[in-house]
C-alpha cells in the first residue's frame, strides 16, 4: 500500500527500552520525505543504531522494544511487522559493520539480497548487471570470497546486497566506519547516485558529520536518545554549535586537538 | 604375500564402507550445525525415533515398505516443525550454549516418545538387503564385502550429491549458507529465519531416518542406536563440523582406521579397540587441526 503523503517515514516521539530496563531512546521524532536523504548524526551511543533498528523492526532480536510513540512507514504503522516483512514492503537496513556473508562469493552475497523477491534466473542476472553499473569494483571481484575483500568493498557489497531487494527506502548505519577518506567519498557518491537515479529514500546514521551533511537534504542531531537539533543540511553546516561540537571548527578558526588540550590545561590552572 | 594384501584390502574396503554409515549419521549433525551453529545432541534420538516409527508403521499397521518410509519421513518433518516452533523460536535470542542444552532435552523427549508409542523391545528391520558378502565380488575379486555396506555407500553418495546441489545451486541453499554465516544480516535482507530452520531440521530428520534404516538393518532397531549415533562425534571433529564433504570423508577415515587398527593392532590390547580408537584420533585432530579437514576456517582479515 502506498500513500500520497510527502513522508515515506514518520517517527513520532518514540521511546525504546532494551531488556525492559535500559532506556536507549527518550524521545525521538523524525521524518524522511520521499526521495530525500536524511542524516541522523550523533556520537557513539547516542541512539542512532537503535533508531534505525526500531524502524527496520530488528530491535526484537536484541531484546529491544518500542515502548512509546509510533512509527509509520509509507502511511502504515510498522508495529506488527517483522524484518522480512519490512524487506517485502521495501524497507531494507544495511547494518553497522557491513556484515557480509564471509564464506559466500561477492556475487552470491549480492544475489542473496533478492531472496525475498520471486525472480527468475534471467531476472536476477539482469538486476545484477544493473547493480554492477553502480558498483564497478564489485564486478571485477565477483568470484572472490567476500571475507577476503577490503573494508570498502565489503561496504559496497552490503549496499549492493540491500539494493537487490529493490528497496523504496534504505537505512544505512555508519557506512563509512573505518574507511579511508577516498573510499568514504566513493561510498557517498554511490549512495547519492542510488538516491537520484533509483529514487530510493535514505536515512543515514553517521558520525562523520561533515561529509554526511554535505550529501544529505536534512539532518537530525541526537544525543543520549533525544533529538537536540534539526534542520536542513545547509543550515546545520552553518550552525555555530554544530561547527564547534561536531565539525571541530570554532569562531576563532579551525580547532585542533592540541588547541583543545591547551585550553583544558589552562582551565585546570585557573581552577 | 598376495593373500596378506588381499586381506588388507578386504579390511580397508569393509572399513571404508562401514564408515559411510557413520557419514550418514554425521550428515544430520552437519546440516543443523550449519544453520543453528550448535551441536545437535538429539540427532541420535532422531535416528532412533525415525527408524522405530518406520518399523512400527510396517510391523504394527502392516503398511507397505515405501508408504511406511514416506510416512516416517513426513513424521520427521512434523518433528522439525515442532522443534522450530516449540524449542528454537522461543530461544531465538538465547546463546548457542542454551540451544545446545535444549537439544539434549529434546533428545530425551524423542527417546521417551518413541518408546511410549512403539514399545521397548528390539525390532528387526528387513530392508531386503542381506548383511552378507556379495557373491559376484567374492568370486571375481576374492573380496568379501557385505551387500549392506555397498548399499549404505551408494545411499550416502546419493545423499551427499543431492545436498551439495541443494546448497550450491538453489535459492534455499543460498539462504541457508547466508544464515549459517550471519543470521542477523540474513534477516536484515529479508531471509526468513524460521523457514530456513524448519527446512534444516526436517532435512536432518529425513537424513536421520535413512541413517537409522542402515544401522537398524545391521544392528536391530533398538535403544543402542542413540549412542551409536554419537560415533559421529569423532567423524565431525576430523571432517569439520560445518562441512558436508567433511562428514563423508571423516566417516570413511574413521571406518577404515578403526577396522585396520582393530585387525592389526587390536590383538596387542586384547582386542575391541574399535570402540575407542576413533576418539584417540579425534584428540589428535583437536590438538593439531581443530577446524577439521574441511571445516570452514575462521577467516579474519588483518
Q: What is the pLDDT of residues B232-289, one digit of tens each?
A: 888 888 888 877 778 888 888 998 988 888 888 878 887 778 778 888 888 988 888 8
Out of A44-53, A133-142, B170-179, B215-224, pick the least confident.
Answer: B215-224
B99, B88 in Cβ contact below 8 A? yes
Alpha-carbon A217 to chain mean position: 14
Backbone angles phi, psi at B187, to 5 degrees: -70, -30
CA-nearest of A3, A47, A69 to A226 is A47
DSSP labels, B34-97? HHHSS--TTHHHHHHHHHHHHHHHHHHH---HHHHHHHHHHHHHHHHHHIIIIIITTTTTS-HH
Alpha-carbon A158 to chain mean position: 12
Q: What own/partner pairs with CB < 8 Å and gap ≥ 24 does A11-14 have?
A: A11/A51, A11/A54, A11/A55, A11/A69, A11/A70, A11/A71, A11/A72, A12/A69, A12/A70, A12/A71, A12/A72, A13/A68, A13/A69, A13/A70, A14/A51, A14/A54, A14/A66, A14/A68, A14/A69, A14/A70, A14/A71
Nearest chain A residue (CA) to B92: A61
Q: For residues A217-242, give the mean pLDDT.
A: 91
CA angle A110, A116, A121 (to 5 degrees): 60
Q: What is the pLDDT of residues A193-224, one digit of tens each?
A: 999 999 999 999 999 888 999 999 999 999 88
**Does residue A268 surpass a pLDDT of 80?**
no
Considering Cα of A177, then A178, then A180, then A186, what sign does the dihedral take?
negative
User: Which residue's entry shows cell 573505518?
Assistant: A178
Alpha-carbon gap, residue A51 to A68, rounded angstroms: 13
Q: What is the pLDDT of residues A154-183, one digit of tens each?
A: 999 999 999 999 999 999 999 998 899 899
The per-residue pLDDT for A257 is: 57
Query: Is residue A175 included in any domain, yes or no?
Result: yes
The residue that leads in pLDDT, B95 or A36, is: A36
Q: What residues in chain A have their Cβ under 8 A from chain B's Cβ atoms?
A: 56, 58, 61-63, 83-84, 86-88, 92-95, 99-104, 108, 111-113, 115-116, 145, 147-148, 151, 158, 161-162, 164-165
Alpha-carbon gap, residue B7 to B260, rounded angstroms: 11
A95 neighbourhood in chain B, CB within 8 Å:
184-185, 188
- Considering CB atoms only, which of A61, A63, A92 is closest to B189? A92
Same domain, A231 and A271: no
Instruction: Please indicate if any CB of chain A lies within 8 Å of the CB of B299.
Output: yes
Q: For residues B165-186, give the mean pLDDT.
A: 88
Helix, strand and coil percent figures for chain B, each rounded to 5? 75, 0, 25
Alpha-carbon gap, residue B113 to A237, rounded angstroms: 68
The per-residue pLDDT for A251 is: 62
Nearest chain A residue (CA) to B171: A115
Q: For residues B37-55, give the mean pLDDT.
A: 88
The per-residue pLDDT for A250 is: 65
Same domain, A77 and A31: yes
What is the gyration radius of the CA atoms in chain B, in angstroms?
20
Same domain, A233 and A247: no
pLDDT class of A1 with cuts at 50, 70, 90: very low
B182 neighbourhood in chain A, CB within 8 Å:
99-102
Same domain, A234 and A248: no
Same domain, A269 and A174: no
Mutate to test the interface with B, among A89, A94, A103 (most CBs of B within 10 A): A103
Out of A221-230, A255-264, B127-136, pick the least confident.
Answer: A255-264
| Domains of chain B, residue spans | 2-288
Nearest chain A residue (CA) to B181: A101
A90 neighbourhood in chain B, CB within 8 Å:
none
Alpha-carbon gap, residue B144 to A4, rounded angstroms: 79
**Count of domains in chain A?**
2
For the B2-288 domain, the top CATH level (class) is mainly alpha
B181 neighbourhood in chain A, CB within 8 Å:
101-104
Query: Which residues are bridge partners to A230 per DSSP?
Result: A220
A101 neighbourhood in chain B, CB within 8 Å:
177-178, 181-182, 185-186
Same domain, A232 and A250: no
Query: Is residue A131 included in any domain, yes or no?
Result: no
Instruction: Please indicate if any CB of chain A lies within 8 Å of the CB of B177.
Output: yes
CATH number reported for the structural domain that contains residue A226 in this entry: 3.40.50.300
The per-residue pLDDT for A4 is: 59
| Cell triple for B74 | 513426513
Same domain, A223 and A251: no
The residue that leads in pLDDT, B172 or B136, is: B172
Alpha-carbon gap, residue B104 to B235, rounded angstroms: 19
pTM more than 0.90: no
CB contact under 8 Å between B184 and A108, yes or no, is: no
CB contact under 8 Å between B188 and A58, yes or no, is: yes
Query: Is residue A118 included in any domain, yes or no?
Result: no
Same domain, A41 and A28: yes
Query: Is residue A190 included in any domain, yes or no?
Result: yes
Per DSSP bridges, beta strands A201-206 and A169-173 are parallel
Alpha-carbon gap, residue A176 to A208, rounded angstroms: 8
Domain containing residue A245: 239-271
A13, A71 in Cβ contact below 8 A? no
Query: Is residue A14 included in any domain, yes or no?
Result: yes
Q: For residues A113-132, give the mean pLDDT.
A: 92
Same domain, A53 and A82: yes
Query: Is residue A110 included in any domain, yes or no?
Result: no
The per-residue pLDDT for A2 is: 47
Same domain, A95 and A21: yes
Q: Which residues contact B132 (CB under 8 A, 6 or more apart)?
A: B146, B147
**Does residue A258 surpass a pLDDT of 90?**
no
| Cell triple for A226 | 533525544
pLDDT class of A93 with cuts at 50, 70, 90: very high
A151 neighbourhood in chain B, CB within 8 Å:
301
Alpha-carbon gap, residue B68 to A201, rounded angstroms: 55
| Cell triple for B29 | 549433525
Same domain, A218 and A246: no
- Considering CB atoms only, which of A83, A145, A151 is closest to B188? A83
B191 neighbourhood in chain A, CB within 8 Å:
84, 112, 115-116
The pLDDT > 70 percentage for chain B reads 97
**Does residue B131 surpass a pLDDT of 80?**
no
The residue that leads in pLDDT, B54 or B145, is: B54
- Considering CB atoms only, which of A61, A93, A115 is closest to B92? A61
CB contact under 8 Å between A84 and B192, yes or no, is: yes
CB contact under 8 Å between B190 and A148, yes or no, is: no
Amino acid at each position: 500500500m502506498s500513500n500520497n503523503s510527502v513522508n515515506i517515514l514518520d517517527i513520532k516521539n518514540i521511546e525504546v527500552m532494551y531488556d525492559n530496563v535500559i532506556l536507549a531512546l527518550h524521545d525521538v521524532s523524525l521524518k524522511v520525505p520521499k526521495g530525500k536523504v536524511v542524516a541522523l548524526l550523533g556520537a557513539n551511543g547516542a541512539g542512532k543504531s537503535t533508531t534505525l533498528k526500531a524502524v527496520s523492526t530488528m530491535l526484537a532480536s536484541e531484546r529491544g522494544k518500542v515502548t512509546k510513540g509510533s512509527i509509520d512507514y509509507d502511511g502504515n504503522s510498522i508495529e506488527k511487522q517483522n524484518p522480512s516483512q519490512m524487506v517485502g514492503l521495501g524497507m531494507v537496513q544495511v547494518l553497522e559493520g557491513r556484515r557480509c556473508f564471509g564464506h559466500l562469493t561477492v556475487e552470491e552475497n549480492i544475489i542473496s539480497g533478492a531472496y525475498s523477491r520471486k525472480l527468475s534466473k534471467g531476472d536476477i542476472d539482469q538486476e545484477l548487471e544493473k547493480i554492477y553499473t553502480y558498483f564497478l569494483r564489485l564486478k571485477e571481484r565477483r568470484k572472490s570470497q567476500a571475507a577476503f575483500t577490503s573494508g570498502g568493498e565489503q561496504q559496497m557489497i552490503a549496499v549492493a546486497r540491500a539494493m537487490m531487494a529493490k528497496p523504496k527506502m534504505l537505512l544505512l548505519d555508519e557506512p563509512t566506519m573505518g574507511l579511508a577518506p577516498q573510499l568514504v567519498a566513493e561510498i557517498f557518491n554511490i549512495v547519492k547516485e542510488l538516491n537520484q537515479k533509483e529514487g530510493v529514500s535514505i536515512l543515514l546514521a553517521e558520525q562523520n558529520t561533515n561529509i554526511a551533511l554535505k550529501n544529505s537534504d536534512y539532518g537530525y542531531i541526537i544525543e543520549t536518545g533525544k533529538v537536540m537539533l534539526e534542520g536542513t543540511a545547509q543550515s546545520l553546516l552553518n550552525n555555530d554549535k554544530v561547527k564547534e561540537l561536531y565539525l571541530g571548527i570554532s569562531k576563532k578558526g579551525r580547532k585542533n586537538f592540541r588547541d583543545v588540550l591547551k585550553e583544558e590545561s589552562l582551565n585546570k590552572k585557573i581552577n | 604375500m598376495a593373500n596378506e594384501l588381499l586381506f588388507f584390502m578386504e579390511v580397508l574396503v569393509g572399513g571404508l564402507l562401514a564408515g559411510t554409515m557413520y557419514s550418514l549419521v554425521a550428515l544430520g549433525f552437519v546440516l543443523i550445525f550449519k544453520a543453528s551453529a550448535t551441536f545437535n545432541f538429539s540427532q541420535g534420538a532422531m535416528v532412533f525415533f525415525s527408524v522405530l516409527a518406520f518399523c512400527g508403521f510396517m510391523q504394527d499397521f502392516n503398511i507397505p515398505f515405501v508408504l511406511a518410509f514416506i510416512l516416517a519421513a513426513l513424521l520427521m518433518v512434523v518433528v522439525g516443525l515442532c522443534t522450530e516452533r516449540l524449542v528454537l523460536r522461543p530461544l531465538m535470542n538465547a546463546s548457542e550454549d542454551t540451544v545446545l542444552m535444549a537439544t539434549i532435552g529434546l533428545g530425551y523427549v524423542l527417546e521417551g516418545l518413541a518408546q511410549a508409542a512403539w514399545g521397548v523391545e528390539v525390532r528387526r528391520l528387513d530392508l531386503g538387503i542381506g548383511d552378507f558378502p556379495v557373491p559376484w565380488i567374492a568370486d571375481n575379486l576374492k573380496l568379501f564385502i557385505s551387500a549392506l555396506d555397498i548399499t549404505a555407500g551408494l545411499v550416502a553418495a546419493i545423499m551427499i550429491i543431492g545436498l551439495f546441489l541443494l546448497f550450491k545451486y538453489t535459492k534455499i541453499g543460498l539462504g541457508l549458507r547466508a544464515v549459517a554465516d550471519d543470521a542477523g544480516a540474513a534477516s536484515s535482507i529479508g531471509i526468513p529465519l524460521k523457514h530456513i530452520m524448519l527446512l534444516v531440521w526436517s532435512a536432518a530428520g529425513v537424513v536421520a531416518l535413512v541413517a537409522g534404516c542402515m544401522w537398524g538393518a545391521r544392528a536391530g532397531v533398538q535403544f543402542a542406536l542413540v549412542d551409536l549415533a554419537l560415533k559421529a562425534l569423532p567423524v565431525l571433529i576430523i571432517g569439520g563440523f560445518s562441512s558436508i564433504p567433511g562428514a563423508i570423508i571423516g566417516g570413511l577415515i574413521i571406518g577404515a582406521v578403526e577396522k585396520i587398527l582393530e585387525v592389526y593392532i587390536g590383538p596387542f590390547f586384547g582386542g575391541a579397540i574399535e570402540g575407542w580408537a576413533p576418539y584417540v584420533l579425534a584428540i589428535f585432530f583437536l590438538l593439531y587441526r581443530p577446524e577439521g579437514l574441511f571445516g570452514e576456517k575462521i577467516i579474519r582479515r588483518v
